[in-house]
Amino acid sequence: MKLRKLQCPSDLKTINLQNTDQKQSGGIFASSEEGETPGIQTEADVDFVDGFQINSTVFLFSNVASGAKTNKVRLIWLQAETSKAQTLKSLGGATLSSSDGGEGSRLLASSLIPGGQQVLWSGVFSLDGGENNTELLLFDISPDQSRTTDTDPDFYYSSNKPNKPSQPKSLQPKVVLFKKKYLSSVLAVREDSWTVFFIGTTSGELIKLAVDENNVPGCPKVLQRGLRGFPKILLDPVDRKHVYLPFKDQIQRVPVSDCSAYTDVKDWFRAKDPHCVWCVTKKR
């Protein structure tokens, strides 16, 4: 019996758009459109960290390094248009700075903060590229509609790099939420006027940090110590009272709070835990 070798289309672009509906032109997963395959290219080495879409805006986060140049943390925006080409041509971008404003930081993990008029986003940054100097930062990543599109120095739609690329907008963090060694993952959730961050470390800790509406954090609380290196933290979509930690060979389910751990009102007040309330009459 002779086996037929499947001819898969080559994917030479950094960013491509593909169909998700069999009824679209070209069928399911097709990246071509009207005889061409539009895409976004780059000359740099790109490590994509996260991406999501809010209404008609697509957000993509990456670490970008070209040759011996220092790493940059890049955010690019795309507007979802009626065609692949129009969507990709809407490219605009920004550079995300760490708290020290220096070059060479890397983005390790990312979580959108749901709700609110601004598009708020949290990122775990490594200041030195390793695990010993990491921090959780809060950014406003609302798209900048005033800048010229498709003139980015790192990402471009045309076959050649723009002759006069514009300097990307530099976004500074609104606040440094947390500094600690070995930060590796983050999940942000809303609880009324609070934002609660669940933060994982490569040393095996799951940390809970509540932040009030003025972006003032409470005391961090370790919910669990155990297995190391979980890259993602997922909220239970049904009861919202547990988070899931996926490991190589198992998934752990952890309660979002242990209210019995607060032995007096001062402990509870310092923690600013929106999942717990203090009962004055019973003193617990």
Strand order across the 45-54 sheet: 45-54, 57-65, 72-79, 92-96, 169-171
pLDDT-derived band at 104 (thresholds 50, 70, 90) equals confident
Separation in Å, CA 143 to CA 81, 91, 94, 140, 165: 15, 11, 9, 9, 19
Strand order across the 175-179 sheet: 106-113, 120-126, 134-140, 175-179
Q: Mean pLDDT throughout 236-248?
A: 91
Of the spans 34-43, 60-69, 195-204, which averages the highest pLDDT?
Answer: 195-204
Digit-coded pLDDT (tens) for 119-146: 999 999 999 877 889 999 999 999 887 7
pLDDT-derived band at 56 (thresholds 50, 70, 90) equals very high
Residue 157's pLDDT is what? Answer: 85
Quote the Cα angle for 43-49-51, to 5°: 100
pTM of the model: 0.88
pLDDT-derived band at 30 (thresholds 50, 70, 90) equals confident
Digit-coded pLDDT (tens) for 164-189: 777 888 999 999 999 999 999 999 99
Residue 99 has pLDDT above 80, yes or no: yes
pLDDT-derived band at 72 (thresholds 50, 70, 90) equals very high
Residue 3's pLDDT is what? Answer: 47
Q: Mean pLDDT throughout 149-178?
A: 83
